[in-house]
């Protein structure tokens, strides 16, 4: 899909440049005695312009993912939510566009994350020995026992055998992500590592693997196989600084989000994701004149499928639009 879109985009770019003259031409007023030949030409030009404008309005580019990442992410999201006999998948929903925009925005910038140093990973076992960490100056200078009482000496954490030196949180938990990099960087490293692992373990780029092996690569990430399958000293899998399951979480979470979040974020195009799961969006029972109401729907004993409505539709309707 990506390469095809790119080709279409390039083609359209050339067409738009070539028809710049025609674009100004359509504003020439028509006179009563003009020949039908000229009229036909203008009609044709107008039709072409209308088609072009439609295409320009629907063609979509990327603002964050690079060329290599585009084709790789495309293959990954279509593995996580395939298009199949049950209905549309990540491809039709435009999940890759949701991810691309998220990576360029707050999500990728970790704009709403607490990123203060030091960055100390979870899951440090007690066998690693005491962890020595310097205090912040602000804490060190506070009087004891509230702070360090003037001492800037490193503090030792020994942990215990049950809990470890740092906690063992769930993947995706609020304290799990302790990387120094923001999520855009995390994805960049993660995608390179995933491709390296795909080549090493399955003999080719992820995009070239069979569907079964593509799914297996992702499952391997979840089970941290890239870390355990090969010698620790061998960093050819690329997952030297990233726990594979942490990256698998982002891939899976963001793919489903791209399938199910409001279309205004670039995914869930034409609300195919909502239609698939039977979600109503902001259709509260009468958006399309169904004549149903929330109070009846919320105590119903049989389900009623509503055609979903998006936030944009809701706002348009609320402001008096159609």
Partner 1 sequence: MSTVINEPAVDVVCLGVGYMSGVVATELALQGYKVVGITKGPYWDYVNDFSMTKYDEWGVGLGRKYDSPLPLQSTTIRNNSSQFALPVRRYTMPIQYHALGHGVGGAAQHYGGTMGRQGPWGYQMLTRTTGSPTTPIPNSINPQDDTHDWPLTYAEYEPYYVEWEKAHGLCGTYNGSPTNSSTDSSSQHYPWMSQAYPLPPHPLTPVAKMFQTAAQALGYNPFPHVSSLASQPYTNQYGVTVNPCVYDGYCGGPCDYACETGAKANAAYRTIPAAMKSNNFTLVTNAFIYRLDYNTTNNQVTAARYYDAQGNIHVQPGTVFFNGMWGYNMIRLLLLSGVGAPYQYNSGTGTGTGTVGRGLTNGYLPYKGTNVSGTLNLGGNAYPAGNGSGGSVDIYDLMDDNFDHTGQNFIGGSQIGMGGYPGGGPGNITMAGGVGSGSMGGIFKATQQNKYLPTTTSVGATPFGPDLPTLMNYVDLDPHYTDAYGDPVSRLTYDWTPNTYNGAIYLVNKVKAILQQMGAQNITVGSNVNPGAAHNDWWGHHLRGGLRVGSDPTWAALSGYNQLFLNTTQGVNIFAAGEITNTTGDTVPSGTHVAGPQSYRAAEGMKKYLQNVGTAGVNYLAA
SS3 content of the chain, % helix, strand, coil (to 5): 50, 5, 45
10 binds partner 1 (CB under 8 A): no
Binding to partner 1 (CB under 8 A) within 128-167 occurs at: 131, 133-136, 138-140, 142-143, 145-148, 155, 157-160, 162-167
Contact, 196 vs 216, CB < 8 A? no
Taking CA atoms, 270 is separated from 259, 275, 281, in Å, by 11, 9, 12
112 binds partner 1 (CB under 8 A): yes
Q: How far is the CB of 106 from partner 1 (least distance, A)?
A: 7
Nearest residue (CB) to partner 1, 25 versus 169: 169
Question: What are the phi and psi torsion angles at 78 (to 5°)?
Answer: -75, -15
248 binds partner 1 (CB under 8 A): yes
202 binds partner 1 (CB under 8 A): no
Given the rule CB under 8 A, which of 27-35, 57-65, 232-240, 305-313 is the region that contacts partner 1? 305-313
Residue at token pair 């007690």:
126
Binding to partner 1 (CB under 8 A) within 250-289 occurs at: 252-253, 256-257, 260-262, 265, 273-274, 276-282, 284
Residue 7 tokens, joined: 């080709």
Give the total of residues touching partner 1 (CB under 8 A).
97
Nearest residue (CB) to partner 1, 59 versus 124: 124
Contact, 56 vs 33, CB < 8 A? no
Nearest residue (CB) to partner 1, 67 versus 133: 133
Terminal CA-to-CA distance of the chain, rounded, Å? 32
Binding to partner 1 (CB under 8 A) within 89-108 occurs at: 89, 106
Rounded to 10 deg, the angle between the 244-260 and 95-104 helix axes is: 110
């Amino acid at each position: 899909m990506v390469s095809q879109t790119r080709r279409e985009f390039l083609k359209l770019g050339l067409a738009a440049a070539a028809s710049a003259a025609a674009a100004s031409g359509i504003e020439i007023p028509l006179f009563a005695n003009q020949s039908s030949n000229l009229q036909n030409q203008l009609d044709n030009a107008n039709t072409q312009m209308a088609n072009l404008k439609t295409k320009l309005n629907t063609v979509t580019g990327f603002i964050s993912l690079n060329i290599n990442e585009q084709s790789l992410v495309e293959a990954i999201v279509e593995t996580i939510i395939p298009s199949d006999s049950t209905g549309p998948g990540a491809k039709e929903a435009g999940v890759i566009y949701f991810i691309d925009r998220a990576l360029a925005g707050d999500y990728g910038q970790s704009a709403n994350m607490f990123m203060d140093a030091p960055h100390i990973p979870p899951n440090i076992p007690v066998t690693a020995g005491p962890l020595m960490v310097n205090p912040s100056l602000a804490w060190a200078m506070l009087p004891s026992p509230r702070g360090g009482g003037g001492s800037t000496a490193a503090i030792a954490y020994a942990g215990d055998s049950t809990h470890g030196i740092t906690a063992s949180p769930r993947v995706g938990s609020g304290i799990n992500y302790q990387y120094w990099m923001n999520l855009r960087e995390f994805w960049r490293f993660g995608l390179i590592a995933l491709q390296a692992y795909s080549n090493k373990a399955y003999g080719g780029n992820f995009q070239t693997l069979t569907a079964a092996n593509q799914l297996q690569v992702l499952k391997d990430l979840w089970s941290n196989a890239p870390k355990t399958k090969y010698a620790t000293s061998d960093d050819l899998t690329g997952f030297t600084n990233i726990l594979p399951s942490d990256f698998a979480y982002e891939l899976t979470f963001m793919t489903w989000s791209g399938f199910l979040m409001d279309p205004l974020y670039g995914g869930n195009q034409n609300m195919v994701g909502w239609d698939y799961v039977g979600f109503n969006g902001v259709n509260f029972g009468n958006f399309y004149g169904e004549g149903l109401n929330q109070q009846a729907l919320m105590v119903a004993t049989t389900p009623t499928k509503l055609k979903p409505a998006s936030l944009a539709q809701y706002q348009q309707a609320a402001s008096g639009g159609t």
